[in-house]
Structure 1
Amino acid sequence: MNLNNNDILIRLRYALDIKNTEMVEIFKLGGIVLSKEEVLKVLTKTQYSDDFEEEIIEDEDHIPCDDEMYESFLNGFITFKRGPKPGQTDRPELTYEHVNNLLLKKVKIALSLTSEDMIEILDLAGVVITKGELGAILRREGHNNYRVCGDRYARNFLKGLAIRYRG
């Protein structure tokens, strides 16, 4: 099953033990104002029908997290962890890169992780990645050596974060 933005936020929240009130604050720092109740609706799993994995069952208690909301959350997470950039008055411009690449880049920045830290985190989840492969994932989209980060790396990065930060 492919990861969607809601699934990534659910896993990231768990891995880093982010409280509901902190989630509200992070969204706000990213320029999205949500109540605690709305955040909980974002943090519900997407329902699929039994017949087709693609068919989503609509649930009025679920708020889908689109790419703008997702990237705004990650930008807010950086501000939450590191404080605003000097001279930053507006929210950062959105890039709309591939969601998994964005996850690794923004979490790396927010948690002040080195490439070695990220390799160790993936290793905790049983995934071996070279520094070159990681560098290609972390590059700007459009760069000659840019590579799209697959769900396997994103899922295992979140799993490794949970092992590292939750024990």
Structure 2
Amino acid sequence: MTHNDILRSVRYMLDLSDPQLAAVFDLGGMKVTQEKLASWLLKDDEEGYVPCPDLPMSHFLNGLVIYRRGRDDTRPAQPLEESVTNNIVLKKLRVAFELKEDDMHAVLQLAGFEVSRPELSALFRKEGQKNYRACGDQLLRNFLRGLTLRVRGSTPAPARPLED
């Protein structure tokens, strides 16, 4: 999934205006202009589209955690990820929305996407570990879909997993 897709999805999920979305970046330690933000929110076939780089996405995800949970001054600042993978996005969303393992399964079930406990656990392991598994676009897309249904309180139609 592109970072732009993730930004659009989270924006819709939380019903954030452009200034509110810019404020989330600000919480993560990055000032973003409305013009830059607008270019990141465009779809890739629209004129003026600009891909969102890893560094701004890292700031956004850290800002999202602070936006949802509040700033914790007792903890040291988290380092920024130089490369933002689907696994990192999934981890940050889990932290931001305070989701436990059962919550993660429930969110995926809302989207009609089944994942076993070991498969889900493997997504949160450190890269390079024996049981590490890379998070695919389909899983992240369905997770965002299920999380949107959960956050917005929508009753889903019979869910059909989204495919790549």
CA RMSD of aligned residues (A): 1.9
The answer on whether the counterparts of 2:57 and 2:84 sit within 8 Å (CA) in structure 1 is no
The answer on whether the counterparts of 1:42 and 1:65 sit within 8 Å (CA) in structure 2 is yes
From 126, 138, 150, the equivalent of 1:152 is 138
Deviates further, 63-72 or 115-124: 63-72
Is 1:66 the equivalent of 2:53? yes
Corresponding residue for residue 143 of structure 1: 129
Distance 1:85 1:141 in 2: 27
- The residue identity in structure 2 corresponding to 1:123 is Q
Q: Give structure 1 stretches of 5+ with no counterpart.
A: 48-56
Distance 1:98 1:38 in 2: 19
- The residue identity in structure 2 corresponding to 1:28 is D
Matches within 5 A, 1:2-151: 3-47=1-45, 59=47, 61-87=48-74, 92-96=78-82, 99-151=85-137
How far residue 156 of structure 1 moved from its aligned partner, in angstroms, is: 0.2
Percent identical: 38
Distance 2:99 2:62 in 1: 16
Distance 2:106 2:33 in 1: 36
Distance 1:27 1:125 in 2: 28
Aligned residues: 153
Q: Give structure 2 stretches of 5+ with no counterpart.
A: 155-164
How far residue 39 of structure 1 moved from its aligned partner, in angstroms, is: 1.6
The answer on whether the counterparts of 2:18 and 2:34 sit within 8 Å (CA) in structure 1 is yes
